[in-house]
Copies of this chain bind each other. A is one copy, B any other.
Amino acid sequence: MEIDKAIGIFDSGVGGLTVMKEVIKELPFEDIIYFGDIARTPYGSKSKETVTKYAREIVHFLSSQGVKIIVVACNTVTSFALETLRQEFRLPIIGVIKPGVKKAVEIAGNKRVGVIGTEGTILSGAYQREIKSIQPSVEIISISCPLFVPIVEEGWIDTEVSNLVASEYLAPLKTKKIDTLILGCTHYPMLKKVIQKVIGDGVKLVDSATQVAIETKDVLSKNGLIRESNRKATHKFYVSDLPPKFKELAKRFLGEEIREVIKIDMSEFVK
């Protein structure tokens, strides 16, 4: 039955596990299938065409596993490919941008919102468009921070290096006196403490993970697809590559050990 199917969540790598963590909290009885495209990570510096191609292959894979909804737990994919995926596939697909933007606009009201993300996310203008469509009077200052992802993956979370890099990237946002800052990349919540310290306590940080989980619940609920029963849920993890450090890295993002990971060959899902 449709209701018994899993939630599919995917990302270019491990960042989407921060979203999965919130989805588990919000929907503890749902099965989840996570896919991380470790063989081709990161997406943030790649072209729209390539990222869309990869995303399409992953949605084909998740569909082949039988899922009732898909959560795109990656800002770059949401920026470049969400509309295309929605046109090409028939199941509900949730992105990470709209939920975060809704919350940010709610908090900021009429004022100045900062957005940070990968090069792809920022260049795409997706956040800027989404914010303007809800609240045209908001002033938006957006900046790409390419070094944040490798710093998080290196585990240099609260170090002199992360503080210095954050100071460099966030300087223009401080000058512009933003009041709200959207963390437009699923890796960035790991740097929340450092970003808050650099940008100042007066600025509210918004990450979309919790909002995405709530939105997922809403959409499932509207479609009558929520499993209410008090059953034990299963969580499955698939990756396209399994380098030595994967489990250690994944644990930092999910907050718990991943016992079993299955590596699959994505060339089967090229269409």
A residues apposed to B, CB below 8 Å: 38-40, 45-47, 49-50, 119-120, 123, 146-147, 149-151, 153-154, 156, 160-161, 164-165, 168, 240-245, 267, 270
Q: In the docked arrangement, what's the CA distance between A270 and B269, Å?
A: 13
Residues of B within 8 A of A243 (CB): 45-47, 50, 119-120
Docked-complex contact B244 and A123, CB < 8 angstroms: yes
Residues of B within 8 A of A161 (CB): 147, 161, 164-165, 168
Chain B residue at smallest Cβ distance from A148: B150
Residues of B within 8 A of A49 (CB): 241
Q: A40-B40, A165-B161, A168-B161 are in contact. Are A241 and B46 (CB under 8 A)?
A: yes
Chain B residue at smallest Cβ distance from A150: B150
Docked-complex contact A47 and B241, CB < 8 angstroms: yes
Residues of B within 8 A of A147 (CB): 147, 150-151, 154, 156, 161
Least distance between A75 CB and chain B CB atoms (Å) = 16
Known: A46-B241, A147-B161. 7 other contacts (CB 8 A): A39-B40, A40-B40, A47-B244, A50-B243, A146-B150, A149-B150, A161-B161
Residues of B within 8 A of A151 (CB): 147
Chain B residue at smallest Cβ distance from A50: B241
Pairs A–B under 8 Å by Cβ, sample size 16: A40-B40, A45-B243, A45-B245, A47-B242, A47-B243, A49-B241, A119-B245, A123-B244, A147-B150, A147-B154, A147-B156, A147-B161, A149-B150, A150-B150, A161-B161, A161-B168
Residues of B within 8 A of A39 (CB): 40, 46, 50
Least distance between A248 CB and chain B CB atoms (Å) = 12
Q: In the docked arrangement, what's the CA distance between A64 and B29, Å?
A: 52
Q: In the docked arrangement, what's the CA distance between A152 and B23, Å?
A: 36
Q: In the docked arrangement, what's the CA distance between A45 and B149, Å?
A: 13
Best-buried of A46, A120, A151, A267 by chain B (most CB within 10 Å): A46
Residues of B within 8 A of A123 (CB): 244
Residues of B within 8 A of A119 (CB): 243-245
Chain B residue at smallest Cβ distance from A165: B161
User: CB within 8 A of A267: which of B168, B242, B267?
Assistant: B267
